[in-house]
């Protein structure tokens, strides 16, 4: 297969990075990649999707990953998987004879191992420059579900219109399910037996980087989990707190202990992100007095992993939230990161400052929810879906259907924007289009068999 054929198939079937960012995968298929990595390091506590998929579909995923390596003419094809995923590692070893060129790299159970900059350094010993892209160093990273979606596109002509996600927390029976894109949170949760608390709050994504959503929010191509917690849980209270109060608390009690910087995974790789200096400058104006704006400008190099505020800070302050606010403010003013910023070699102490996943899970109060969540990959059923046109990085798709049209499961309902970084969108049910806006398409199920 030629690279342009593969790019065309991946784009036409709407394959985006399923790990959370949603970068259009066709744009990562680049012959500059001398090494390609398969990321099987669930980045956050409670999430199970990628290890479960790789264990159940090891042959199919390895077959597709090997093909991509051949098409890109990559020198190395590596599956990076946490050693703690015993069943997944066994499945890989059982199929390695079929794909002898694939290397398997075992990773420690630390956070945030799934962050691609951390993953690349851990696997290849390569440091990606601050604000840079892996391809600059000849590396491309794909996660497990993304490769599985490419497999389905190649073998079954199947577009990405459903998403595997873990349901965990205050539910009767935690599970990993396959939900139609556009299905509402409240419906998806029923697959886990319902909610066990009176005042639930829903977090879409992981507990470290996810966001609080409404029960009427909908699944997208990048939804990895729906976590249900009681409104009084300390993690929820942090997420719902007023950022202006976070600033006042920081002004009152930040003691400049530097723990946030000492445990920052990007700082440990030599990147110029220093949360404690940012907190000093933001809360006291020291940077402005000395005309040193670097603590503010270097917020661009924060990966928003949350270690600083949810694990490191002994005073429960919120460096990550404040850094994110400043970073977004800079972007709003048209400021962009310096791609030539100087950075250092990884710190020698890095090995001793990795955050164990088990300890992190306990620190944020989620140990009791770290239960088995069996994979059930029968597609969930729903009467209606609300499918967003912007489910990926880049320009949102353009609707090609109109109100009243009848669509079938897998049919294209929105085209990728012309000559832009964009992806098409496909229907996740059979039904009738009942509403179209600039942001979404609503389809009501016709109750036909999917």
Distance CA 33, CA 134 (A): 9
Where does 161-233+365-381 sit in CATH, by number?
A: 3.10.20.600
Whole-prediction pTM value? 0.95
Distance CA 88, CA 219 (A): 26
Mean pLDDT by 10 residues, the chain (450 residues): 97 92 94 97 94 98 98 98 98 95 97 96 96 95 97 96 98 98 98 96 96 97 97 96 93 94 97 95 68 88 96 96 94 90 94 97 97 96 97 95 97 95 97 97 77
What confidence score (pLDDT) does residue 51 get?
A: 97
CB-based contacts of 349: which residues, under 8 Å, 6+ apart?
268
Pick the CATH number of 3-156 from 3.40.50.920, 3.40.50.11540, 1.10.645.10, 3.90.280.10: 3.40.50.11540
Distance CA 127, CA 344 (A): 10
Torsion of CA 111, 61, 176, 48, to 10 degrees: -20
Judge: domain 383-450, CATH 2.30.30.
no
What confidence score (pLDDT) does residue 340 get?
A: 86
Contact in structure between 218 and 189 (CB atoms under 8 Å) = no
Distance CA 341, CA 363 (A): 34
In the chain, residues under CATH classification 2.40.50 are 383-450
Peptide bond into 112 cis (omega under 30): yes
What confidence score (pLDDT) does residue 449 get?
A: 43
Q: Nearest-CA neighbor of 317 among 405, 240, 255, 377? A: 255
Torsion of CA 121, 127, 129, 133, to 10 degrees: -50
What confidence score (pLDDT) does residue 284 get?
A: 82
What confidence score (pLDDT) does residue 39 get?
A: 97
Stated as kind and residue range, the H or E segment containing 253 is: helix 243-253
Which tokens sit at 413? 């309902």
CB-based burial, 103-114: b 16+ in 10 Å, e otherwise:
eebebebbbbbb
What confidence score (pLDDT) does residue 389 get?
A: 97
In the chain, residues under CATH classification 3.40.50.11540 are 3-156
- The runs of H, that is alpha helices, within 272-318 are 275-284, 286-289, 294-297, 307
CB-based burial, 429-438: b 16+ in 10 Å, e otherwise:
bbbebeebee
Which tokens sit at 47? 């999430």
β-sheet with 139-143: strand ranges across = 102-107, 76-82, 35-40, 139-143
What confidence score (pLDDT) does residue 365 get?
A: 97
């Amino acid at each position: 297969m030629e690279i342009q054929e593969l790019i065309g198939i991946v784009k036409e079937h709407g394959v985006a990075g399923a790990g959370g960012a949603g970068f259009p995968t066709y744009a990562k298929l680049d012959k500059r990649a001398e090494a390609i990595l398969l990321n099987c390091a669930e980045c956050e506590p409670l999430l199970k999707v990628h290890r479960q998929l790789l264990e159940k579909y090891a042959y199919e995923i390895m077959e597709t990953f090997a093909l991509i390596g051949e098409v890109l003419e990559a020198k190395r094809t590596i599956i990076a998987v946490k050693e703690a995923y015993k069943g997944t590692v066994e499945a890989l070893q059982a199929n390695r004879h079929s794909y002898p060129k694939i290397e398997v790299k075992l990773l420690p159970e630390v956070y945030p191992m799934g962050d691609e900059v951390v993953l690349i350094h851990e696997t290849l010993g390569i440091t990606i420059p601050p604000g840079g892209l892996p391809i600059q160093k000849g590396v491309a990273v794909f996660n497990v579900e993304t490769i599985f979606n490419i497999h389905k596109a190649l073998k079954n002509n199947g577009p990405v219109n459903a998403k595997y996600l873990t349901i965990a927390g205050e539910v009767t029976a935690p599970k990993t399910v396959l939900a139609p894109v556009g299905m509402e949170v409240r419906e998806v949760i029923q697959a886990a037996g319902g909610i066990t608390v009176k005042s639930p709050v829903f977090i879409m994504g992981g507990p470290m980087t996810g966001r609080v959503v409404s029960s009427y929010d909908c699944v997208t191509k990048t939804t990895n989990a729906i976590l249900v917690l009681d409104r009084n849980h300390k993690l929820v209270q942090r997420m719902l707190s007023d950022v202006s109060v976070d600033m006042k608390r920081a002004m009152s009690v930040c003691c400049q202990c530097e723990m946030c910087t000492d445990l920052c995974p990007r700082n440990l790789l030599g990147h110029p992100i220093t949360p404690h200096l940012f907190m000093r400058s933001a809360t006291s104006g020291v940077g402005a007095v000395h005309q040193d704006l670097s603590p503010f400008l270097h917020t661009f190099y924060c990966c928003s992993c949350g270690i600083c505020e949810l694990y490191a800070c002994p005073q429960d302050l919120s460096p990550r939230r404040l850094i994110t606010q400043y970073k977004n403010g800079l972007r709003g003013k048209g400021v962009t990161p310096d791609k030539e910023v100087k950075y250092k070699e990884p710190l020698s102490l890095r090995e001793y400052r990795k955050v164990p996943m088990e300890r992190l899970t306990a620190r944020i109060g989620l140990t009791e929810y770290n239960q088995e969540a069996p994979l059930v990959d029968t597609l969930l059923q729903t009467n209606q879906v609300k499918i967003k046109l912007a489910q990926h990085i880049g320009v949102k798709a353009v609707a090609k259907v109109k109100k009243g049209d009848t669509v079938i499961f897998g049919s294209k309902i929105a085209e990728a924007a012309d000559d832009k970084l964009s992806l098409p969108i496909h229907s996740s049910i059979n039904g009738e289009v009942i509403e179209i806006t600039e942001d979404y398409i609503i389809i009501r199920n016709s109750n036909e068999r999917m």
